[in-house]
């Protein structure tokens, strides 16, 4: 009997050692068009997000976290490659997002985070909205993901013949107005899924993925369809939020985050799982109460004012990421790629420029991160640049309607710490700052021109 107990104890120790030596699991939850001001932990007064608030309280909440673009497709390409859209080919000036009849997708020679992690034996899954090419040769299974379940592009991209013209159709929760297909692997499994059930179905898939792969290191990329318009929520959440239908949708997303974190905890994986929550771009303001809020930040989706590209950023890993920290240092969705590679023991590709930085010193409270200039592109056009606390706008454009672009020479200059709403242009008082930003920009822009072969075909087919 004593012998048996000894063997069991030894097995237990061996098992624990093996678990401890495994690289961390990684889950990236990515909302669509969720604004910087849309969560309670970011100051929203009436949308209730207890699970994200708890995630932030147990982890680190960034106040200056940036997407690399102000719309969906280039933002996702940058997150998954750690590179500016200008480098990874997803930067068409006019068609800044892939359309339902675009032929292109993320170039094959780009290395996604999933492909990088596969080299260390990770199981990889993508659940949700892809939007990096909808043809079979561009879907997640062609970019390092073992499993895929979700919509290939935005939920507004395939209106049906019964869908009324104009914007009105966006304000009605009618599933028959939309026919964005649901895909598993590379096969369309439902041509017109019920959008009210999408968040719930994605969440069930995500929880199943976590439980199924609990013994292996895994990477789950979980880009939600919502709160991109048209807005849909399940019966349990519809009509429940004080903030109306937009609140219903965000509160269901918050529930989903709670389900994912609960699954991680229940599987005993909390201390070896990094979970990241963010959004691809700012709120789509032209949709009135069906669009979100950037809080005190100026403008929203489609604009390079702060509201278009500064987004929520929450990192959670009990025992590793400093808990209860409001992090005011700047960080980027592009940082996720090199940070996760470092944590997983994967060498980042050396045959190309990775624009993100390893921010694990910030996350673990062990140091700082050197940061050069951050560039705000819209398509292939440079609109603004941030160096330290200063942001210079060379071109500005409103997020609303069809407003024209406005060029600025000298550039408009804002101190983002003193004036986060970008209200007071102080360029005339600080010509030295403007000059130093221009020097920093010149250094980068000269090498940020995409090769023609890298520019993918985003133009919709006739
Ligand atoms: Mg978006």
Query: Is 262's pLDDT higher than 90?
Result: yes
Ligand 1 centroid–CA 317 distance in Å is: 26
Crossing angle of helices 50-58 and 244-266, rounded to 10°? 50
> What's residue 445's pLDDT?
87
b/e map 35-46, b = 16+ CB within 10 Å: bbbbbbbbebee
Ligand 1 centroid–CA 99 distance in Å is: 13
Query: Is 166's pLDDT higher than 90?
Result: no
Query: Is 208's pLDDT higher than 50?
Result: yes
What is the C-alpha separation between 342 and 316, in angstroms, rounded?
17
Q: Which residue has better confidence, 5 or 17?
A: 5
> What's residue 102's pLDDT?
87
- In the beta sheet, which residues pair with residue 221? 28, 126
pLDDT tens digits for range 358-367: 999 999 999 9
Task: Show the tokens assigned to 324.
Answer: 């209860």
> What's residue 6's pLDDT?
54
User: In percent, how much of the chain has pLDDT > 90?
Assistant: 84
* DSSP3 helix / strand / coil % (the chain, rounded to 5): 35, 20, 45
Query: Is 199's pLDDT higher than 50?
Result: yes
Ligand 1 centroid–CA 155 distance in Å is: 11
Ligand 1 centroid–CA 32 distance in Å is: 4
Q: Is the dihedral of CA 282, 288, 291, 296 positive or negative?
A: positive
Q: Taking residues 159-169, report their average pLDDT.
A: 90
Assess whether 12 carries a catalytic annotation: no
Q: Taking residues 165-191, report their average pLDDT.
A: 94
Q: Which residue has better confidence, 400 or 333?
A: 333
Which residues lie at CB < 5 A from ion ligand 1? 32-33, 72, 280-281
Spot the catalytic one: 44, 51, 92, 131. Answer: 131
> What's residue 14's pLDDT?
46
Q: Which residue has better confidence, 454 or 110?
A: 110
Cβ contact 152:160 at 8 Å? no
Q: Taking residues 366-390, report their average pLDDT.
A: 95
Query: Is 13's pLDDT higher than 50?
Result: no
> What's residue 17's pLDDT?
43
Band of pLDDT at residue 94, cut at 50, 70 and 90:
confident
> What's residue 305's pLDDT?
97
Ligand 1 centroid–CA 320 distance in Å is: 30
Query: Is 7's pLDDT higher than 80?
Result: no
> What's residue 12's pLDDT?
46
Spot the catalytic one: 44, 72, 126, 134. Answer: 72
> What's residue 48's pLDDT?
98
Q: Is the dihedral of CA 159, 160, 165, 167 positive or negative?
A: negative
Ligand 1 centroid–CA 129 distance in Å is: 10
Query: Is 343's pLDDT higher than 90?
Result: yes
The values of phi and psi at residue 31, to 5°, are -80, 160
pLDDT tens digits for range 24-50: 999 999 999 999 999 999 999 999 999
> What's residue 3's pLDDT?
56
Q: Does the bond joining 230 to the residue before it have cis omega, within 30 degrees of 0?
A: yes
Query: Is 256's pLDDT higher than 80?
Result: yes
pLDDT tens digits for range 234-244: 999 999 999 99
Q: What is the SS3 assignment for 50?
A: helix
> What's residue 201's pLDDT?
98
State pTM to two decimals. Answer: 0.95
Query: Is 432's pLDDT higher than 90?
Result: yes
Band of pLDDT at residue 455, cut at 50, 70 and 90:
confident
Ligand 1 centroid–CA 97 distance in Å is: 9
What is the C-alpha separation between 81 and 334, in angstroms, rounded?
7
Assess whether 72 carries a catalytic annotation: yes
State which H helix or E strand residue 26 sits in: strand 25-31
Band of pLDDT at residue 15, cut at 50, 70 and 90:
very low
> What's residue 19's pLDDT?
55
What is the C-alpha separation between 30 and 167, in angstroms, rounded?
26
Task: Show the tokens assigned to 317.
Answer: 């890993």
What is the C-alpha separation between 126 and 433, in angstroms, rounded?
43
Ligand 1 centroid–CA 328 distance in Å is: 24
pLDDT tens digits for range 276-322: 999 999 999 999 999 999 999 999 999 999 999 999 999 999 999 99
Nearest to 149 by CA among 207, 75, 216: 207
Q: Which residue has better confidence, 96 or 374?
A: 374
Q: Is the dihedral of CA 113, 119, 122, 125 positive or negative?
A: positive
Ligand 1 centroid–CA 72 distance in Å is: 4
Q: What is the mean pLDDT of the chain?
A: 93
Q: How many other C-beta atoms can be found within 10 angstroms of the C-beta atom of residue 165? A: 7
């Amino acid at each position: 009997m004593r012998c048996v107990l000894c063997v069991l104890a030894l097995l237990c120790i061996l098992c624990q050692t093996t678990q401890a030596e495994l690289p961390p699991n990684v889950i990236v939850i990515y909302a669509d068009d969720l604004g910087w001001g849309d969560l309670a932990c970011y100051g929203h007064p009436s949308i209730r997000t207890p699970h994200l608030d708890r995630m932030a309280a147990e982890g680190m909440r960034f106040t200056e976290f940036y997407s690399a673009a102000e719309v969906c497709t280039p933002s996702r390409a940058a997150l998954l490659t750690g590179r500016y859209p200008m480098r990874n080919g997803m930067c068409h000036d006019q068609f800044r997002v892939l359309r339902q009849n675009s032929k292109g997708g993320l170039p094959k020679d780009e290395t996604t985070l999933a492909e990088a992690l596969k080299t260390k034996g990770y199981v990889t899954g993508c659940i949700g909205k892809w939007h990096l090419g909808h043809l079979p040769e561009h879907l997640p299974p062609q970019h390092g993901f073992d499993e895929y379940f979700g919509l290939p592009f935005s939920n507004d991209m395939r209106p049906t013949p019964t869908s009324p013209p104009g914007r009105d159709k966006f304000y009605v929760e009618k599933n028959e107005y939309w026919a964005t297909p649901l895909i598993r692997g590379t096969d369309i499994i439902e041509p017109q899924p019920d959008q009210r059930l999408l968040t719930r179905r994605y969440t069930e898939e995500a929880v199943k993925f976590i439980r199924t792969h609990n013994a292996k290191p895994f990477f789950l990329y979980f880009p939600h369809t919502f709160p991109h318009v048209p807005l849909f929520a399940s019966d349990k959440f519809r009509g429940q939020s004080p903030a109306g239908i937009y609140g219903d949708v965000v509160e269901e997303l918050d529930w989903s985050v709670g389900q994912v974190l609960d699954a991680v905890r229940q599987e005993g994986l909390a201390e070896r799982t990094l979970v990241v929550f963010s959004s691809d771009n700012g709120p789509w303001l032209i949709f009135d109460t069906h669009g979100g809020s950037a809080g005190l930040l100026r403008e929203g989706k489609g604009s390079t004012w702060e509201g278009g590209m500064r987004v929520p950023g929450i990192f959670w890993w009990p025992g590793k990421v400093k808990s209860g920290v409001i992090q005011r240092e700047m960080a980027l969705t592009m940082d996720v790629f090199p940070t996760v590679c470092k944590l997983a023991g994967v060498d980042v590709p050396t045959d190309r420029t990775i624009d993100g930085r390893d921010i694990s010193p910030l996350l673990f409270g062990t140091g700082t991160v050197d940061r050069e200039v951050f560039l705000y592109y819209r398509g292939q056009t440079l609109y603004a640049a941030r160096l330290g606390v200063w942001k210079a706008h060379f071109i500005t454009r409103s997020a609303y309607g069809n407003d024209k672009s406005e060029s600025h020479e000298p550039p408009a200059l804002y101190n983002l710490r003193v004036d986060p709403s970008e209200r007071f242009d102080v360029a005339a008082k600080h010509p030295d700052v403007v000059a130093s930003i221009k020097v920093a920009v010149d250094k980068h822009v000269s090498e940020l021109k995409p090769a023609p072969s890298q520019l993918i075909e985003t133009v919709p087919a006739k």
